Each structure stands twice: as structure tokens, then as C-alpha cells.
């Protein structure tokens, strides 16, 4: 999305959050009644070694770049199909004005699946973290391009207080460094350029080496087939997030199953011993890019 559009969405989100908090203060969200989940279930889905690619399958009705993706949109049914097909987690768009999302969608998905659920939105306040927990989320997305370093650290802390994991979305080396410095444990690399809306299919692979081995890497955007999944797994990513490819398919669950069936066994292993990983290793065992010459 264009940087100006990002600012527009963030501004609209800030206004909407203020309105919601005025109507229902933080204390009224009744986080204590939220469906109980094991702490860090989202992170656990991508920890360790796995011979099966770990997919975060997304429920999203619309996007600013593509418009309506799915007219008949039933996120709970779609999520259940994803789980049956082998998804490691489900991402649910909850932003209403630009993506036709709603917190009610997340609540419905939480009731329909047992796998971890990620709230994908433009998170700018602690109130939204509490909303996510009250709706049953296991994790929230934090888009680094929309946050200052101070805001990122505050939201990471708020998520910890609510036992939620965080997927910190980045787009370049500088943002990855900021995320690492803030203490992010799961970093996503979104291959979609925020200025042009175009996807660079090579970006995630190019940036893989910038993610320390102690951090879980997730590749996002433009992942359309088993070959891409295998390549990203070999580069060291422990998971991939796929949305539009499934949302535009006649049967999203079947599309996920077909993709998983097409990935050779051994295509996804723990980054600490990933096959074919191009990462160099910094002193102290932290992987990263070799020095420039």
C-alpha cells in the first residue's frame, strides 16, 4: 500500500479506536472471559524442526490494491477448512474501512478452529491489544512502518502482559534491525512495496540473512506455489503467510491442501540447521549478512 494510504489507514484507525474506547473502556472489554489458550501458542507453532511447511492461511475479504477478493465471505468456515487442510495458524483481517474486516470475524474464527489465530490489523494502541485478547487471538500483527521505536516497544510489552505473541512486519534491512533492537521474537518480511504496491518475489530471500537465528522468520506476500514455499523454507523462514492466493480460489481449503501436497518433504526445517540456508554467521552464533566488500 502507498505510504500515503498507510498514513490514511492509520489515522482512520486511531479515530476508530478512540471512539470504541469511549464507548467501552479498557476495563469493560472483559479480557478475563476470553477463550483461554496456552500462552505463546502462535510462537510454538513455528518453533523447532518440521518437515512440513508451516502456513499462516489468511481470511481477508478485500484489499486496497485488489478490491473485493471474495464476495461470499464466511471467515469461520474458511478457517475451519484451512485447519483441516493443514494450516499452522490462521490470520484474520479485522480492519473494517479498507479490508471489510471486523473483530467479530476473529471471534467466529476462534470458535471454529483449535490452531492459533493472528489478529491482522493496524495496531496503534494498547486498547487494540486488549481487544485482540478479548476476541480470542493468540497473536497480533505490528506493522513497523506505522510505528515509532517507542510505540513498538510499548506495544510489544502490552502484548506480553496479555500473553499474546507478536508478528512484527518489516520491509527492509533497517526495519529488521529496528525490530531486533526492540526485542521482537517473530519477524515477518512483507515483499509488498508500501509505495508502489508491487511485490518483489526475491525480497524475502534477500532479507532472510538479516534475521538472527534466535528470531522466527515469516515470509509474507506474493507466495503463490509450492516452489516458492520450498525456496523460502530453504532460505530459513519457519513459516509463510498466504492470503490472496487462497481467497481468490474457488475452495480456499483445497487450494491450501494442494499447495502443501506439492512441497517436497524436508522443505521446511528449523533455521538453526536449515538445509540450503545461505546465511552467514556473525560472531557469537547470530546469523546475518556477511560484511560488504
Output b/e per residue, 123-153; b: 16+ Cβ within 10 A: bbbbbbbbbbbbbbbbbbbbbbbbbeeebbe
Residue 42, burial from CB neighbour count under 10 angstroms (0-12, 13-18, 19+): buried
Select from 225, 287, 234, 291 the least CA-distant residue to 260: 225
Catalytic residue among 58, 95, 244, 269: 58
d(CA 280, CA 8): 39
Question: Which candidate in 131, 169, 175, 244 is catalytic?
Answer: 169
- 193 in catalytic set: no
For residue 140 the three cell numbers come to: 497480533
Stated as kind and residue range, the H or E segment containing 217 is: strand 216-220
State the number of CA atoms in the 13 A half-sphere of 133 facing the CB.
25
Q: Which entry of 21, 50, 60, 231 is annotated as an active-site residue?
A: 60
> Is 221 noted as a catalytic residue in this protein?
yes
Residue 120 annotated to the active site: yes
Residue 159 C-alpha cell reads as: 502484548
220 flagged as catalytic: yes
* Distance (Å, whole) CA 155 – CA 165: 11
Query: Exactly one of 95, 120, 131, 277 is catalytic; which is it?
Result: 120
- CA of 90: how far to CAs of 30, 59, 115, 116, 174, in Å? 23, 7, 7, 6, 28
Biggest CA–CA distance in the chain, Å, is: 57
The residues with which 291 forms a beta bridge, in sequence order, are none
Catalytically annotated residues? 58, 60, 120, 169, 190, 220-221
Amino acid at each position: 500500500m502507498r505510504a500515503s494510504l498507510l498514513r490514511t489507514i492509520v489515522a482512520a484507525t486511531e479515530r476508530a479506536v478512540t471512539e470504541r474506547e469511549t464507548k467501552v473502556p479498557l476495563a469493560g472489554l472483559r479480557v478475563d472471559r476470553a477463550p483461554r489458550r496456552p500462552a505463546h501458542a502462535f510462537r510454538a507453532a513455528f518453533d523447532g524442526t518440521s518437515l512440513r511447511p508451516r502456513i499462516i492461511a489468511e481470511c481477508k475479504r478485500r484489499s486496497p490494491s485488489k478490491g473485493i477478493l471474495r464476495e461470499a465471505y464466511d471467515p469461520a468456515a474458511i478457517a475451519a477448512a484451512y485447519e483441516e487442510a493443514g494450516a499452522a495458524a490462521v490470520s484474520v483481517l479485522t480492519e473494517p474501512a479498507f479490508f471489510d474486516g471486523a473483530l467479530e470475524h476473529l471471534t467466529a474464527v476462534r470458535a471454529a478452529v483449535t490452531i492459533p489465530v493472528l489478529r491482522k490489523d493496524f495496531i496503534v494502541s494498547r486498547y487494540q491489544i486488549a481487544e485482540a485478547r478479548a476476541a480470542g487471538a493468540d497473536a497480533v500483527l505490528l506493522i513497523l512502518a506505522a510505528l515509532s521505536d517507542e510505540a513498538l516497544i510499548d506495544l510489544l510489552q502490552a502484548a506480553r502482559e496479555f500473553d499474546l505473541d507478536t508478528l512484527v512486519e518489516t520491509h527492509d534491512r533497517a526495519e529488521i534491525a529496528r525490530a531486533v533492537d526492540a526485542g521482537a521474537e517473530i519477524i515477518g518480511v512483507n515483499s509488498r512495496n508500501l509505495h508502489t504496491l508491487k511485490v518483489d518475489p526475491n525480497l524475502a530471500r534477500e532479507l532472510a540473512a538479516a534475521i538472527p537465528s534466535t528470531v522466527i522468520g515469516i515470509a509474507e506476500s506474493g507466495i503463490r506455489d509450492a516452489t516458492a514455499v520450498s525456496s523460502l523454507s530453504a532460505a530459513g523462514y519457519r513459516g509463510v503467510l498466504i492470503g490472496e492466493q487462497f481467497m481468490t480460489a474457488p475452495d480456499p481449503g483445497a487450494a491450501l491442501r494442494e499447495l502443501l501436497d506439492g512441497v517436497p518433504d524436508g522443505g521446511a526445517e528449523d533455521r538453526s540447521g536449515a538445509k540450503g540456508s545461505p546465511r552467514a554467521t556473525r560472531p557469537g552464533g547470530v546469523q546475518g549478512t556477511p560484511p560488504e566488500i
